[in-house]
Amino acid sequence: MEVCFFLVCHGKPAREARSLDLSRFELTQRDVEGLRRFVIHLPAESDDCDPLSKSDASARPRCVLQGYFDDLDLLEQALQPEGAIHDVVNESSSTGLTFTQQAMAVRRFATPDPSDFGTRAERCTYLVSYEGEAQDFNAWLSHYLAHHPPLMAQLPGIRELEIYTRLDYRSGLGIERATAMQRNKVVFDDPASLAAALASPIRASMKQDFNTFPPYSGATLHFPMRSIYGNLKPK
């Protein structure tokens, strides 16, 4: 199964801190052995994409880096000391930024009109993170996968839909591990398309399904993000 490695960056808001060097992030990602593609997520310029869900501003990440690997072994090799992923963390720490890490299994679902992301593309993404715990995770995941993705795939304008569940993994990175039970990603062309999708009747159906989820306790964070995609050529 394909795996995704999340580096979630927190720190001072962009207006109070040095700008992130996106070109450096992109170049460093291209040096990671075994990496097939990556996404750099930055906070969307507008908070108006989703009037129904307002996550705690203090929990908003400065950026989220996603790296995709064909299997867990390739990811674990890339996480050993002296690798390019370490360079990202070490260089950013000098700017007052902090990272958490998490490896997750990828479940990808078909959408009616998928996007061709090419070698580099920008989109608008809605990232969701279930930070707590389900009372019975098997019941939770069984219900979720059976009922929620078919609704999400009906959101008008959706280009990509992925659901991630956590994995145990080896890492040589000396940073805190995130423990999100599940993450989701839905992708649209731009903030206006995301806002229109989240204001559609499908969103109401998703809310109805949400109310039938098996018992769960903890925060559910929602963040609209500007996303830069990088598809890498085989090495």
Does position 96 have pLDDT exceeding 80, yes or no?
no
Q: Check residue 231 and give its pLDDT.
A: 75
* CA–CA separation, 113 and 189 (whole Å): 11
From the list 86, 76, 85, 92, the residue with the least C-alpha distance to 9 is: 92
Banded model confidence at residue 17, pLDDT cuts 50, 70, 90 = very low
Residue 57 contacts residue 223 (beta carbons within 8 Å): no
Does position 207 have pLDDT exceeding 60, yes or no?
yes
Query: In this structure, what are the phi and psi dihedrals at residue 232, rounded to the nearest 5 degrees?
Result: -100, 145
Of residues 233 and 132, the one with the higher pLDDT is 132
Query: In this structure, what are the phi and psi dihedrals at residue 59, rounded to the nearest 5 degrees?
Result: -90, -5
* CA–CA separation, 180 and 40 (whole Å): 19
For the entire predicted model, the pTM comes to 0.90
pLDDT above 70 coverage of the chain, percent = 84
Fold of the domain built from segment(s) 3-231: Alpha-Beta Plaits (3.30.70)
* CA–CA separation, 173 and 197 (whole Å): 38
Query: What DSSP character marks residue 14?
Result: G
Average pLDDT, the chain: 86
Of residues 137 and 232, the one with the higher pLDDT is 137
pLDDT digits 0-9 by tens, 24-64 = 677 777 778 889 989 999 988 765 666 556 556 667 898 89
The pLDDT of 6-33, averaged and rounded, is 70
Q: Of 31-40, 100-109, 156-165, 209-218, which gets the smallest average pLDDT?
A: 31-40
The pLDDT of 5-18, averaged and rounded, is 69
* CA–CA separation, 133 and 229 (whole Å): 30
CB atoms within 10 A of CB 73: 13
The helix/strand/coil state of 130 is strand
* CA–CA separation, 116 and 139 (whole Å): 34
